Structure 1
Amino acid sequence: MSQLPANVFQFVRANKWRILIVVATALIVIAVGFFQKKEDAVIEQKGVYVVGYITKYEVTTRGQIVYYQFKFKGQVYQSSKHITLGGNIVGNRYLVQVLPSNPQQCRLLANYQFYRQTNVKQPEDGWIEIPNEAHYHEL
């Protein structure tokens, strides 16, 4: 038992840079996740709803990315999200929640889709509540 601490200290001393990199990476991932959750909570509380159009769907080594755009107060914005939505989704319309004070802060609500045949007239300032035309479905 008295050998274990010496071996641990030797291991740490020999690999201190590797350990530091692993710990720093873990802390960065945790911090990014924390701030993303905080941003999502603000958008959920103060956000309005707009129609988002899928413009591109890409499969990468890190997963699948959906690129979308939406219009808010006459200006077009673009964003992306790592999510799996299935095959041919380019052109599909989904609900996007936008922070009115900073429309770059937004989130795609992939559970709320507008059917292709549904004619939706979005208010320029977005909807305060989820519109009836947005159909909820499980992912």
Structure 2
Amino acid sequence: MIVVNDRVTLDDAELDFEFIRAGGPGGQNVNKVSTAVRLRFDLKGSPSLPEDVRRRLIGMAGRKLGADGFLTIHARAKRTQEANRREAVDRLVEMIVAASIRPKLRRPSKPTLGSQKRRLDTKRKHSETKARRRDNGPPDG
């Protein structure tokens, strides 16, 4: 059991780990040992996620969410399977925690009467200044 917060607890059976070979530096070991981890989580079918968290997480997932509804996280930075496994789970937990935060509703404010009058007064003064600069037509001659 992975406790994310007071609303969300993930069952270990919901997480599907696949160990694959990681590229990059590492000497001969990189060609022999599958240390990189691909974590798959059934985002659309998980019974552990509340519906509002699921909707926000789907919006946040981007390219990590496949057409089949599975969220895929790759971890390959560490040298051991266990470290990469922990990193992938930590990233999943971070995403769920971020999706658990309800966004604040924006309530548009109304400009005050004084600010409206100041804005119109400034516009009028600016217009008068520009009107004084205008040419009064072609010269007679």
TM-score calculated relative to the size of structure 2: 0.19
* TM-score w.r.t. length of structure 1: 0.20
Q: If each structure's strand is expressed as a fraction of its own residues, which one has the higher value? A: 1
